[in-house]
Amino acid sequence: MKVGEGFIPGIKYCTRCCMPETQEGISFDALGICKACQSSEQKMHINWKEREGLLAEILADAKLRAGNGYDCILPISGGKDSFFQAHVLTQVYGMKPLAVTFSHNWFSETGYYNLQRCLEVFHMDHIMFTPNRKLVNNLAKKSVEMIGDTCWHCHAGVGAFPLQIACKFNIPLLIYGESIAESSGRASYFDPVTKYDREYFTKVSAKVSPDDMVCEYLSKRDLYPFEIPSAEECESKNIQGIHLGDYIFWDEERQTEFVKREYGWRETEMEGAYKGYKSVECIMAGMHDFTCYLKRGFGRASMQAATDIRQGLLTREEAWQLVEEFDCVRPEALDYFLEITGMSEQEFHEIMKKKRHEKIKDYELVVKKKHHKNTERIKPFAEYMIEKNINQPDPRERNE
């Protein structure tokens, strides 16, 4: 593959990491190098000791203000970053966080294990919000129609719920993981730490507001849990959010090894990805990434390969091979999606075609069949557990 080119003709690809110009928010310098690649270079020139000093100050200040309450909110999914964040906060800085989870209600079995394990090993109090099954199914359908991916309820809920809890419990500091500069291309490590944006998740992932989702099968009332607190409320309570990745040198690969070894965090097979550690908690991650492929011509393997090239773990040639093998595979999760939405596969592809990026509008994207059954069952763990138990005799009857 020629430098700057890729699988889709006429599309510009980063001369270093191979990410295409169809990625949202991406921009290139004069040499054709994308912003995320530039960020990965900046990381080498930052005085991380000084930055950690700043973090220590922020955390000490939060502790001082917290009195007998919680020092901060830790939004967690149970993923590898949750473990690493919990480790830094509780073990390194002696903080007392309140763990907060917005459940997409699509927990995988491994993901549910990880979440429970995280709470157990770090001794954290926890609040979780779970939207009901019917609502999740309806939102998944509307989500594809509105934003061309399956996960609006998760994008919106992850943005809103920790903020709601921050306001209700008067815990003004929220602590996120990876820096926005790391791979999104939306920020730089050298930019001054910007003011916390309560609407970040709405703008970047959810795209549309709860009001926009109201339709014949979703009422305003259904959407209530996805409302973010008002700017006035956040301001009056001085709600702040920081990303640990802006203060600590972020190394995904090493952190994953660390939390596996030290705390028993587990990977699983992830559809459309060649690594088993991204979005492990969710059975629908493969759908999220497949819709990205259908819209923008790249999927999870491209994102992972780009990170690996930046870290010096892969050559460009190796990356292209992985991208070709994984990005275009039809995920098993598509079957589950069609089941819960009542959509036909053809209807789904028709909608996705309309959502396609202008630059690849006329390009015929290859979709390959998946040739093996996913290691983990593609069904929400909650449903799966009920199904397993409902067929067992009642334990009281067994003893009679």
Question: Is residue 17 near Zn ion by the rule CB under 5 A?
Answer: yes
Residue with tokens 């493969």: 286
Half-sphere exposure of residue 130: CA atoms within 13 angstroms, side-chain side? 10
Helices of type H across the chain:
35-42, 48-66, 80-86, 109-122, 133-147, 152-169, 200-201, 210-213, 231-236, 252-263, 285-296, 300-310, 316-326, 333-341, 345-354, 381-390, 395-399
Beta partners for 298? none
Question: Is residue 72 near Zn ion by the rule CB under 5 A?
Answer: no
In our burial notation (b when 16+ CB lie closer than 10 A, e otherwise), range 182-196 reads bbbbbbebeeeeeee
206 closest CA partner among 142, 162, 273, 270: 142
Tell the smallest beta-carbon distance from residue 319 to Zn ion (Å). 11
Tell the smallest beta-carbon distance from residue 19 to Zn ion (Å). 5
Among 34, 72, 180, 301, binds Zn ion (CB under 5 A): 34
Dihedral sign (CA 221, 223, 224, 225) = positive
- CB contact at 8 A, 197 and 228: no
Question: Is residue 284 near Zn ion by the rule CB under 5 A?
Answer: no
Residue 34 or 158: the one with the smaller Cβ distance to Zn ion is 34
Cβ atoms within 10 Å, residue 143: 25
Question: Is residue 16 near Zn ion by the rule CB under 5 A?
Answer: yes
Stretch that binds Zn ion, among 30-38, 191-199, 321-329, 350-358 (CB under 5 A): 30-38
Tell the smallest beta-carbon distance from residue 309 to Zn ion (Å). 8
Residue 124 or 319: the one with the smaller Cβ distance to Zn ion is 319
Tell the smallest beta-carbon distance from residue 51 to Zn ion (Å). 23
Stretch that binds Zn ion, among 26-34, 104-112, 265-273, 319-327 (CB under 5 A): 26-34
Stretch that binds Zn ion, among 37-45, 48-56, 192-200, 267-275 (CB under 5 A): 37-45
Residue 34 or 305: the one with the smaller Cβ distance to Zn ion is 34
Q: Which of residues 184-203 bind Zn ion (CB under 5 A)?
A: none
Stretch that binds Zn ion, among 10-18, 71-79, 321-329, 335-343 (CB under 5 A): 10-18
Residue 37 or 118: the one with the smaller Cβ distance to Zn ion is 37
323 closest CA partner among 80, 76, 14: 14
Question: Is residue 14 near Zn ion by the rule CB under 5 A?
Answer: yes
The three-state secondary structure class of 97 is strand
Question: Is residue 11 near Zn ion by the rule CB under 5 A?
Answer: no
What six digits make up the tokens of 280?
Answer: 């492990």
Counting residues that bind Zn ion (by CB under 5 A) gives 5
Q: What residue type is assigned to position 102 of the chain?
A: F
Residue 55 or 322: the one with the smaller Cβ distance to Zn ion is 322
Tell the smallest beta-carbon distance from residue 34 to Zn ion (Å). 3
Does an H or E element contain 4, and which?
none
Residue 16 or 243: the one with the smaller Cβ distance to Zn ion is 16
Question: Is residue 37 near Zn ion by the rule CB under 5 A?
Answer: yes
Tell the smallest beta-carbon distance from residue 3 to Zn ion (Å). 12
Tell the smallest beta-carbon distance from residue 194 to Zn ion (Å). 22
Distance of alpha carbon 337 from alpha carbon 349, whole angstroms: 12
What six digits make up the tokens of 397?
Answer: 């009857």
Residue 251 or 269: the one with the smaller Cβ distance to Zn ion is 251
Residue 316 or 330: the one with the smaller Cβ distance to Zn ion is 316
Dihedral sign (CA 143, 149, 152, 154) = positive
DSSP 8-state class, residue 32: S
Q: Which residues bind Zn ion (CB under 5 A)?
A: 14, 16-17, 34, 37
